[in-house]
């Protein structure tokens, strides 16, 4: 069921979130060390009860949360989203012991999570991952490398996806209960992947790996926007059946179900950045004078701002529609999620770039809000499925 407007309670909550982001979260973000996990910021997100909301909210509420935080503090939004991405597989398929150990710590902002799927040769083609889970008497030994992992190497635990074997047989989870099938009618629709990827996805298992396991090392990577991103090296890291998330050989479904939830909210993050850039452009063009009057009186400027506003609103509606489809169990979740992520991230890139152009050189100066947004807006077009991958998903869904 598409949502075309928010009710008064939702509108008030979004306004409160924007205010919290500017007043309480942005100062902590500004004091953080670039490229490092900001634990004081996470602790404040926990005190405010926002981390817990990632796991208890509907998909629409998650989108409102991410969009609102992004308008006031992109670092806070990203820190919250990464906690959700790294921990949601535990919520989805974790054992009671795994949940009891880690969920309270994550929600309080005391434990840092990471989603370790990408590899040097398997980014967008996640089904091509090669990290090996080699059997031994106690369980498995994980050997290989992960790359471009957010919160690495500082996370306290990692959701690691490894290849246990081609077509490994499903088994019950470590506590003896049957894991929920992410492809069942009671769970969100699984992510659509090409036939070759389906074959490559067989035999992938998800493991919950604490950071202190022997053989697990990592190093930070310097990125365009200074977020905590790193590489992991796993050298015969020991794991047992108690570390399995869900079922052996079914980890790829866990990964894709997680991404189906978070892809629309990546779009919401993009919408928040676009709205912040649009607001800055409106203020600037209304007050900046040139050629005898305010910039807004120039038709070329006014039309540019109108286009920015239209793309931002179109992106917002696609995101809300995808989130509502997820919440209602609609059959077209993969296509809607892909459309929302695709359009919103591309629209945000356009809107932020246009806002920079309207501001001129001042927007390129280090410390200007738009300079910050210009660096932040680029990555969402790549992570959690690049734009080109989203188009492939949409086309596959259209052709059935």
Do 293 and 394 fall within a single domain? yes
The mean pLDDT values, 10 residues at a time, for the chain of 400 residues are: 76 96 96 94 97 95 97 96 96 96 97 95 77 93 96 97 65 33 30 40 90 97 90 97 95 89 92 98 95 93 98 96 93 93 98 97 94 95 92 94
Is residue 384 annotated as part of the catalytic site, yes or no? yes
We report the CATH number of the domain holding residue 281 as: 1.20.140.10
Do 90 and 220 fall within a single domain? no
Q: Residue 352's closest CA among 179, 170, 209, 225? A: 225
Q: How many CB atoms lie within 10 A of CB 156?
A: 18
Any domain includes 209 = yes
Any domain includes 378 = yes
Do 260 and 224 fall within a single domain? no
Q: Quote the pLDDT of residue 200.
A: 56
Any domain includes 346 = yes
Any domain includes 359 = yes
Any domain includes 1 = no
| Model confidence, pTM | 0.87
Number of domains in the chain: 3
Of the three residues 215, 249, 283, the one that is the final residue of a domain is 249
Over its C-alpha atoms, the chain yields an Rg (Å, rounded) of 21
Any domain includes 225 = yes
Do 232 and 296 fall within a single domain? no
We report the CATH number of the domain holding residue 180 as: 2.40.110.10
Any domain includes 50 = yes
Q: Quote the pLDDT of residue 100.
A: 97
Of the three residues 107, 136, 170, the one that is the final residue of a domain is 107
Do 125 and 103 fall within a single domain? no
Do 377 and 271 fall within a single domain? yes
- Kindly name the residue from 44, 376, 384, 397 that is annotated as catalytic: 384
Q: Quote the pLDDT of residue 208.
A: 98
Q: What domain range is 13 assigned to?
A: 8-107
Do 211 and 90 fall within a single domain? no
Do 166 and 102 fall within a single domain? no
Do 203 and 306 fall within a single domain? no
Q: Quote the pLDDT of residue 198.
A: 45
3-state secondary structure of 144: strand
Do 96 and 175 fall within a single domain? no
Any domain includes 97 = yes
Of the three residues 40, 74, 107, the one that is the final residue of a domain is 107
Q: Residue 99's closest CA among 110, 109, 88, 108? A: 88
We report the CATH number of the domain holding residue 83 as: 1.10.540.10
Q: What share of residues in the chain are helix, strand, coil (percent, to 5)?
A: 55, 15, 30
Do 353 and 380 fall within a single domain? yes
Do 155 and 279 fall within a single domain? no
Q: Quote the pLDDT of residue 284.
A: 97
Q: Which residues of 183-221 are buried (b: 16+ CB within 10 A; e: fewer)?
A: eeeebbbbbbbeeebeebbbbbbbbbbebebeebebeeb
């Amino acid at each position: 069921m598409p949502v075309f407007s928010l009710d008064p309670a939702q509108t008030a909550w979004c306004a409160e979130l924007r205010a919290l982001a500017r007043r309480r979260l942005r100062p902590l973000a500004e004091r953080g060390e670039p490229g490092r996990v900001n634990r004081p910021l996470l602790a404040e997100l926990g005190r405010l009860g926002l981390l817990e909301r990632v796991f208890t909210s509907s998909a629409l509420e998650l989108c409102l949360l991410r969009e609102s935080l992004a308008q006031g503090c992109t670092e806070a939004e990203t820190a919250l989203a990464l906690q959700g991405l790294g921990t949601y597989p535990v919520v989805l398929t974790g054992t009671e012991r795994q949940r009891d150990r880690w969920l309270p710590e994550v929600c309080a902002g005391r434990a840092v999570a990471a989603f370790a799927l990408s590899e040097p040769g398997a980014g967008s083609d996640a089904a091509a991952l090669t990290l090996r889970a080699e059997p031994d008497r106690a369980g498995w030994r994980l050997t290989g490398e992960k790359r471009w992992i957010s919160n690495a190497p500082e996370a306290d635990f990692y959701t690691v996806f490894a290849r246990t074997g081609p077509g490994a047989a499903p088994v019950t989870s470590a506590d003896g209960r049957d894991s929920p099938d992410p492809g069942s009618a009671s769970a969100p629709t699984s992510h659509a992947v090409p036939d070759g990827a389906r074959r490559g996805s067989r035999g992938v298992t998800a493991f919950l790996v604490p950071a202190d396991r022997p053989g697990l090392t990592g190093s930070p990577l310097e990125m365009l926007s200074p977020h905590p991103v790193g590489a992991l090296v796993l050298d015969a890291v020991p794991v047992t059946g108690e570390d399995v998330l869900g079922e052996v050989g079914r980890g790829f479904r866990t990964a894709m179900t997680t991404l189906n939830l978070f892809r629309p909210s990546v779009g919401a993050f993009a919408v928040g950045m676009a709205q912040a850039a649009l607001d800055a452009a409106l203020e600037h063009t209304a007050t900046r004078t040139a050629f005898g009057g305010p910039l807004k009186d120039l038709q070329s400027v006014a039309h540019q701002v109108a286009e920015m506003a239209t793309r931002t609103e179109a992106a917002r509606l696609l995101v809300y529609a995808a989130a509502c489809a997820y919440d209602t169990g609609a059959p077209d979740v993969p296509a809607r999620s892909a459309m929302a992520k695709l359009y919103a991230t591309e629209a945000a890139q356009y809107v932020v770039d246009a806002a920079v152009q309207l501001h001129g050189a001042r927007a390129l100066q280090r410390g200007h809000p738009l300079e910050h947004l210009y660096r932040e807006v680029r990555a969402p077009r790549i992570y959690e499925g690049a734009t080109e991958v989203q188009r492939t998903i949409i086309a596959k869904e259209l052709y059935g």
